[in-house]
Amino acid sequence: MTPRPEHPARHRRRTDRRRAVVSGASALALTAAAMLTSTMTSTASAATTWPTATGSQAVPATIAVSGTRDGGYKRYYGSGDLAGDGQEEGQDPIFQLADGATLKNVIIGSPGADGVHCQGSCTLQNVWWEDVGEDAATFKGGNSAVYTVYGGGAKKAADKVFQHNGGGKLVVSKFAVQDFKTLYRSCGNCSTQYKRTSIFNTVEVTTPGSRLVGINTNYGDTAALRNITIIGDSSKKIVPCQKYTGNNTGAEPTTNGSGPDGTYCDYTASDITYR
């Protein structure tokens, strides 16, 4: 039986309906993309907006985290054995993250003890330190560990914000720091030393401060700085990248220069904006 030819007008209507479906799908995709862009833009600017705590919780003993813990922007602060806020070495943290754990939407108040310890790979998302104790976060994993800090910020760090004692790579994005001495230090005298990699992208720095990163060139450390904004340092006293000769004896490491070199300190003048 010979198929009956389709009427041209009917074919046009069916084609129009298919086009409408495709157009609708495209519109949904564009809407989703716009929403994602909006979210990314909002997150990108969040570093300059410090959150208000939704409540407070005293922490007398370190909280162990495995999997994901969402603090809902509650403020956690040390009490009892965790009530220290000085620079004494060896303090316990408020949170200790197991390998692969995520801590998000948390405010660490004062006293802050030794902040957060990552035993392996970890993610810190929108974690805010109102008054850094010994350190804000210490990274203690092995050579394959990847530590991600996304969003958040830290204030009042009399010494270091991020302490890298283990191996692996640290990636810090969309972070704010103000009133600090050192944003990041690759351990200069740990008994076990590693080659450590660090990347800082979109970081807002507000004076006073002494240096952004400190790395050990003799162990092959590298630090990349991208899209860094430094506020209130018209004389450019903050050192973007300080190089050291590290050791494993516990002795105080010596400095061996600073500034971009294309190998250890990876940045150019255009990567840093002063305002």
What count of other Cβ atoms lies within 10 Å of the Cβ of residue 246? 25
Quick check: helix, strand or coil at residue 26?
helix
When pLDDT is cut at 50, 70 and 90, the band that residue 49 belongs to is confident
pLDDT of residue 88: 55
pLDDT of residue 85: 58
Where do the structural domains in the chain lie, given as residue ranges?
Answer: 63-274
Residue 44 in this model has a pLDDT that exceeds 50: no
As a whole number, the mean pLDDT across the chain is 86
- Check residues 188 and 16 and name the one with the higher pLDDT: 188
pLDDT of residue 84: 64
pLDDT of residue 91: 85
pLDDT digits over 120-163, tens only? 999 999 999 999 999 999 999 999 999 999 999 999 999 999 99
- Region 29-56: what's the mean pLDDT? 53
For residue 43, what are the contacts with CB-CB under 8 A and spacing of at least 6?
A: 151, 174
When pLDDT is cut at 50, 70 and 90, the band that residue 106 belongs to is very high
Tokens at 235, concatenated? 């004389």
**β-bridge partners, 182:** 160, 211
pLDDT digits over 58-89, tens only? 999 999 999 999 999 999 999 999 996 555 56
- The CATH superfamily holding the domain 63-274 is Single-stranded right-handed beta-helix, Pectin lyase-like (2.160.20.10)
pLDDT of residue 270: 97
Q: Measure the N-to-C terminal CA separation of the chain; round to a whole number of Å.
A: 81
The Cα-based distances of 57 to 21, 49, 71 in angstroms read 52, 22, 10
Q: What percent of the chain has pLDDT over 90?
A: 79
Tokens at 122, concatenated? 């970890």
